[in-house]
Amino acid sequence: MKAIVTGGAGFIGSHLVVELIEKGHEVHILDNLVSGHLKNVHPSAVVHIEDIQSNEAKQVIIKEQPDVVFHLAAQADVGKSILEPRMDASVNINGTINILEACHEASVKKIIFASTSAVYGDVKAKLAPENIATVPISYYGLSKLSAEGYIRLFYQLYALPFTILRYGNVYGPRQLPKGEGGVIAIFLDRIKKGQALTIFGDGQQTRDFIHVKDVVRANMAAIDRGDQEIFNVSTSSRTSLTQLIDHLQSIHGYPITTVNISSKHGDIKHSCLDHKKAVQLLGWKPYFDIYQGLQDTYSYSFRP
Ligand SMILES: NC(=O)c1ccc[n+]([C@@H]2O[C@H](COP(=O)([O-])OP(=O)(O)OC[C@H]3O[C@@H](n4cnc5c(N)ncnc54)[C@H](O)[C@@H]3O)[C@@H](O)[C@H]2O)c1
């Protein structure tokens, strides 16, 4: 199979590229390196340094005629979306439309889209299934939700098959200490530097942290399954920032200091996604619980 991974030089995309290549697939990457790095990229992947909003990016897809496009390139920073909503919309909405037009023209068999729990907003339910109301509270969540709408319409109008994967907060090796869900990378970076961990609010906010390798496995499962479906890709368990710090304390083995400051605009208090549908229809479930995942990520961060 030939695949194009947009955002393949980024955190999640680069792990997906490794897995695709190890499974014997031909992989092309479309990435403008705004937050990705060539050092992340597997040497067997062909890299096209283009912006997903450009005609050049479109032409790459039309020329290469991939079987599957994994669309991960995005403006993925919630805070930046609040400060620069037009830029966020350009990349996440216009960029996605550009990729969809190219996929349609190239008769791509499927587009697999990286969406986010941010489309739900501040969820009151303990465990959010895919069909609850989507009321984003950041422009990032809104732009990703709009992109999902375009993907659905490209299927209705042009029969371009899709799977939408809404990730929880992804963490793991190679994540940079910034951006959406970057709290674990930020904490590990500060622990390494011997600095205090900053907690926004009271530390009781919870997230559904999912290890990057489990996210990659969900993308792989979506190649042949889950057509025209939306799936939560999550552990279905809540971890508060306070619990996260306790785990890191136990793994690190030395005292960790913390400081509390007021919470940020656009921040969601609780987020936990029900992954039952992905278990049933994708035949997928996460391997890593939070403690194992943190151990794995800690070992990477503290490697010699
Ligand atoms: N990390 C998370 O916790 C998380 C959670 C939910 C969803 N997601 C989604 O997963 C995807 C990957 O996220 P990530 O954490 O790996 O982020 P990342 O910033 O590491 O990766 C994004 C990649 O896209 C590239 N990119 C950005 N804008 C581009 C553009 N205009 N043209 C071409 N390339 C561009 C960047 O250079 C980078 O390589 C994103 O779509 C993000 O919204 C991430």
pLDDT tens for 82-128 read: 999 999 999 999 999 999 999 999 999 999 999 999 999 988 888 99
Distance in Å, CA 76 to ligand 1 centroid: 5
Structural domain for 69, as ranges: 2-169+212-233
Verify that 61 and 183 share a domain, yes or no. Answer: no
Beta bridge partners of 294: none
The best mutation among 12, 93, 273 to test binding of ligand 1, ranked by most ligand atoms within 8 Å of the C-beta, falls on 12
Domain match, 55 and 185 both: no
Residue 280 included in any domain: no
Q: Kindly report, residue by residue over 125-143, the tens digit of the pLDDT.
A: 889 999 999 999 999 999 9
In a domain, 45, yes or no: yes
Residue 276 lies inside a defined structural domain of this protein = no
pLDDT in tens, 140-168: 999 999 999 999 999 999 999 999 999 99
- Three-point CA angle 260, 262, 267, nearest 5°: 115
pLDDT of residue 124: 83
* CATH number, position 176: 3.90.25.10
Q: How far apart are CA 7 and CA 267, in angstroms?
A: 24
Q: How high is the pLDDT of residue 265?
A: 64
Pairing label, strands 26-30, 2-6? parallel
Q: Does 279 map to a domain?
A: no
Q: How far apart, in whole angstroms, are the C-alpha atoms of residue 135 and residue 141?
A: 8
- 124/259 same-domain check: no
* pLDDT tens by residue, 31-60: 999 999 999 999 999 999 999 999 999 999
104 and 198 in a common domain: no
Residues 227 and 85 in one domain: yes
On whether the CB atoms of residues 28 and 3 are closer than 8 A, the answer is yes
Asked whether residue 11 is domain-assigned, the answer is: yes
Residue 123: the pLDDT is 84
Ligand 1 atom having least distance to the Cα of 91: 31
Measured N-to-C along each axis, helices 290-301 and 241-252 cross at an angle, to the nearest 10 degrees, of 50
Same domain, 204 and 132: no
CATH number of the domain bearing residue 140? 3.40.50.720
Q: By the 8 A CB rule, do 13 and 73 touch? A: yes
Test site for ligand 1: of 4, 47, 72, most ligand atoms within 8 A of the Cβ: 72
Domain annotation covers residue 255 = yes
Number of domains present in the structure of the chain: 2
Q: How far is CA 59 from the centre of its chain?
A: 25
Q: 204-243, pLDDT tens digit by residue?
A: 989 999 999 999 999 999 999 999 999 999 999 999 999 9
The answer to whether residue 281 is domain-embedded is no
Based on the fold, state whether residues 39 and 109 are members of the same structural domain.
yes
In a domain? residue 153: yes
Atom of ligand 1 lying closest to residue 50 CA: 33
The answer on 250 and 128 residing in a single domain is no
Residues 141 and 201 in one domain: no
Residues 221 and 203 in one domain: no
**Same domain assignment for residues 24 and 44:** yes
Q: Are 102 and 62 in contact (CB under 8 A)?
A: yes
Whether 232 and 129 have beta carbons less than 8 Å apart is answered as yes
The binding-site residues of ligand 1, defined as CB within 6 angstroms of any ligand atom, are 7, 9-13, 31-36, 51-53, 72-76, 91, 95, 114, 116, 167, 169-170, 179-181
Annotated catalytic sites, by residue?
A: 140
**Predicted confidence (pLDDT) at residue 179 exceeds the cutoff of 60:** no
Closest C-alpha to ligand 1, atom 43: 76
Atom of ligand 1 nearest to the CA of 175: 20
Q: Average pLDDT of 15-44?
A: 97
Same domain, 42 and 73: yes
